[in-house]
Structure 1
Amino acid sequence: MAVDCDGSAGDFGGIRRECRERLIVGVAMLAGLLFCGAASAQTVAATKRVLIGMPDTLLGAWHSDDDDGRLDCKAYRKIKSARDITEETGGLVGALMITSKLLHAYSDYGEGDFYVVKRVILQDSQRWDVDALVGVDSMPEEGMEGSRETFRLTLSNGVLSMNEENAADGTRHVRAFFKCGNILDGMYIEPASDKATEGYTGRAAATSRSVNGGIRPSRPGVRRTT
């Protein structure tokens, strides 16, 4: 005989118990599914958490992952402090300096690009999305139109990839770096508090040839050929 849990098939005690047991099992299964969904959401939220600055594993001097970058790294390692940077020292062309609140990408002309960190979103243990204000040849100013961008950093087998999108045409630009060493003493001053640019209001401390946050040798990062 089919079991009718609304009681129309009879009021036998055994049938009622079976209906109650089925109901309990169904509720338990539903609760389990809801719990798993909540746990999964919590796991995703915990993985993609927001950091207040760049992670320690990325701090330092990164050089282009090619022959020129290795040559520049060799020159950079000979420099003892930022005050020693001159036209002859080289070691900065194509380098990416990463502090807690600032990324400074040196170019072979001018000051290069300055990325003032607003927030860092941890995607997983080796990937970060960096939301930053961007300035070309000088520190960016809060509220500058078009100066805000988000780019991805990925660390794999010691190689740091910087993946940016060209706002003009939507194309992607990827640069690869290897860790050369630490930031030179006196190269950057970290801010005492998060104001103005909400993360980096510092200045270069090393020489009189400084512009809003980065060392400025007469020809920044001139490459040594010996």
Structure 2
Amino acid sequence: MKNIIITGTSRGIGFELALHFATAGHKVLALSRKTSKALLENENITCLSVDLAQEDDLDKVTGFLAQNWKQVDVLIHNAGALLLKPFAEITTQDFESIYKVNVFAVAALTRIVLPYLQPGSHVVTVSSMGGVQGSMKFAGLAAYSSSKGAVITLSELLSEEYKERGIAFNVLALGSVQTEMLAEAFPGYQAPLTAKQMADYIYNFALTGNQFYNGKVLQVSSSTP
């Protein structure tokens, strides 16, 4: 049994991940603004209503860990915010809103969890193919894709900084997955993978990938995008 923290668990990949870990007997701390009844009713899942864009809200995580867990085995940064808008129309506030969730929250939550990470712990950041240098880029995703690129570099840096402690930091750069967020941004587009299929992959990688990788960016995509 391991202690797992997952962000963005109200729907999509994060929701499926939380259920998968809990069903397997692991203890899950599920973080999202909205909480699902299915997660609340699971005895292996603790749900905290957290707005990742508000750093003060992360104090709830600090309090929970101090009172309940002595260590964290896996931290999965799954939450993401997406903006589809022509670059000329994107405001500084738009950029800040996306970066608060996709980059700043990743950094802030990692700092909170660091004292609980032990040798063998694994921090997995879910990024996007749009953030990978040299990959195909799509108009209208300047804020989103650039934030996903930033979080890739952040993870690479942290893997170097904490390698002596035996903590692994890896990134999964996902292609398109059929989630609610994708449907909202690209109505009518049908992705090749479901949220559950991707969650199954991330589940296994989170538990074992750190035996093979550290500081790596793995491209998980069967299509373009």
User: TM class, shorter-chain normalised?
Assistant: under 0.3
TM-score computed with the length of structure 1 as normaliser: 0.24
TM-score computed with the length of structure 2 as normaliser: 0.25
Which entry has the higher C-alpha Rg, 1 or 2? 1
